[in-house]
A and B are shown apart, each in its own frame.
Chain A
Amino acid sequence: MNAAMSDDAPLLAVQDLTVTLRTPRGPAPAVRGLDFALRRGEKLGIVGESGCGKSMTALALMGLLPDGAAVTGRIGLEGQDLLALPEAALCRIRGNRIGMIFQEPMTSLNPLHRIGRQVAEPLRLHRGLDAGAARARAIELLDRVGIPDAARRADAYPHELSGGQRQRAMIALALSCDPAVLIADEPTTALDVTIQGQILDLIEDLVEERGMALILISHDLGVIGEVVDRVMVMYGGMAVERGPVDAVFDRLTHPYSQGLFAALPKLRQDRGAAARLRTIPGRVPELADLPAGCPFTPRCPIAEERCGVVPPPVVTVQAGHEAVCHRVERALEGVFGPGVRS
């Protein structure tokens, strides 16, 4: 399909993506000037807490933003600018060239349709397969994602499958047309911990096997660290830190990234006074109230006056690892007290 494109041309190139939501309190920037590119086989993780704009980014990529959201910038998928396409053309791309897995496998399958039919639908829609061929392909896919006895399970209804199996079926559905880009929005959050690992492994295998690009969205640093090669930390709609996952995790720079990491529960933590979970003080501000400068200013322990006013610069910490912060040197000394950073 992409024979015309050289292997190192990005499949997905996002430039200056900005999403503005209409709220009762005025326009709220949900995503602010996001840039990234993904090549074949690359895996990008987007981390951040609820409301940081990670899901809005995913919906913007799919062209499924809620009514009243305004998008600017450019989303180039295999050389086409998705933002310039009419809805009918987007329908032909969704589920075909770009697939998405959702957080809740319980609710993202239609309860009234059999699994096999739901997995087969994109094939009939985009590939024009007849019912028989689509079903055969759906069974192959269900088998590939690890649903036992796929030929029989294809006739099951969603409520007859376990959560993990439903998520496997969702993955089969999202991959049915061999998309170039797969977006997984918190794909394991609703699942048992034991199942989480299996699902992540499956996604990883499939991405490698099919040479797709993956965007994995999660609030869970553990999940991100396990799967992706590049990570982007988002806060208040901005990418505050990004880079190769090892480099970033090794030298967490942005105060928010450090806070996110400090908030992870640790098994070896000393009991007693220090046993309380660390949290980042304050909470995510309303989007409409974000400061003009760095969005993290109100919660940042090392914020200065200029932080809230002047948009922070992009600072290269090491090759490929960037943080968007006025006080990178100070931040690298550690922000949330001792023991937070190595």
Chain B
Amino acid sequence: MAEAVAATRPGAAARRAWLARALRHPSFVAGGILTLLLVGVALLSLVWTPYEPTSMDLKARYAPVSWSHLLGTDRFGRDVLSNIMAGAQLSIAVGVVAVLIGVTLGSALGLWAAARKGWVEELVMRFSDFAFAFPAILSAIMITVILGPGAVNSILAIGIFNIPVFARLTRAAANSVWTREFVLAARAAGKGGFRITVEHVLPNILSVILVQATIQFAIAILAEAALSYLGIGSQPPQPSWGRMLNEAQLQMYKNAWLAIYPGIAIAVSVLGLNLLGDGLRDLTDPRLVRQR
């Protein structure tokens, strides 16, 4: 017993144990590496890219893969590698901001609904149902069209779409915590709804929200690519994977790599984030933790 207490003594030791377990988890590790790669590329592109992503070289249009252009060039002679690196910035910006909008507003609504029940819950849930009645990309398109095209507005659109996702998830998870006996015990100890939400409900559903956040991050990247592909997302000359796909489709048969590289970039980023989310879900589930 005494050892058990010492071993799980909070702080450095517990954190080290968690990290050790995390590093043995294959999808967490794979997802983590891919996500770090995405972030690393985006950071690197802020200070260095092989060429200026927007600089055109009309003498080198559709240049094939070579040492001077590692991934070739597009129809304006822009370096594909530089554009993919710079495109990561937009993907990450969209993911981070859209998820933050969704988490803060959506989770707050969900927690409120679960704590207050009654008409508050009805209202929040019917609002979510309403928002969910439209397919994600369709609602993002609608919002972008209303707000006008552009990177900032597409971020807002994807963020707004995320609100009901997190509101529902948070409410469902919070409701199940509210029925737990320790919440009854906390109420019996004299705690009010707000305290219970902050001290008991939120910490117990944080991992669920975190997992969903990584998955919504991936969805946001896809949605941004889709909006840019449709021409209502980021506008030229801002590098964007979605718009690279759009521009490449005219050349699909002659210069397929132009579509393949941004496609791979999107696929790898989304895959990495999904794997990371899966891994986190396994690692943060306290029941699984104790069984090991």
Contact = CB atoms under 8 A, between A and B. Distances in A.
A94 B188 contact: yes
A208 interface: no
Interface in A215-239: none
B9 interface: yes
B180 A107 contact: yes
Contacts of B100: none
A125 B190 contact: yes
A67 B1 CA distance: 41
Nearest to A165: B1
A62 interface: yes
Interface stretch (A109-117, A195-203, A261-269): A109-117
B184 interface: yes
B274 to A, nearest CB: 26
A140 interface: no
B192 A152 contact: no
Interface residues of A, number: 38
Contacts of B290: 159
B184 A108 contact: yes
A104 B181 contact: yes
B5 A108 contact: no
A153 interface: yes
B188 A155 contact: no
B186 interface: yes
B49 interface: no
A299 interface: no
Contacts of A121: 189, 191
A173 interface: yes
A114 B5 CA distance: 11
Nearest to B6: A152
Interface string B155-191: 0000000000000000000000000111011111111
A93 interface: yes
B237 interface: no
Nearest to B206: A112
B188 A64 contact: yes
B188 A91 contact: no
Contact of A102 (B181, B191, B204, B286): B181
A300 interface: no
B204 A91 contact: no
Contacts of A96: 190
A153 B5 contact: yes
A321 to B, nearest CB: 32
Contacts of B203: 112-113
A94 B5 contact: no
A276 interface: no
B185 A100 contact: yes
B8 interface: yes
A61 to B, nearest CB: 10
B250 to A, nearest CB: 55
Contacts of B191: 91, 95, 121, 125
Contacts of A67: 117-118
B125 to A, nearest CB: 16
Contacts of A170: 185
B219 to A, nearest CB: 28
Contact of B192 (A64, A91, A122): A91
Nearest to A58: B188
Contacts of B192: 87-88, 91
A299 B220 CA distance: 63
A144 interface: no
B281 interface: no
B4 A160 contact: yes
Contacts of B75: none
B190 A93 contact: yes
Interface of A: 62, 64, 67, 87-88, 91-96, 99-100, 102, 104, 107-114, 121-122, 125-126, 149, 152-153, 155-157, 159-160, 170, 173-174
Given A109-B182, A110-B204, A156-B8, 14 more contacts: A87-B192, A91-B190, A94-B188, A95-B189, A108-B182, A110-B186, A111-B204, A121-B189, A152-B2, A155-B5, A160-B4, A160-B8, A173-B185, A173-B189
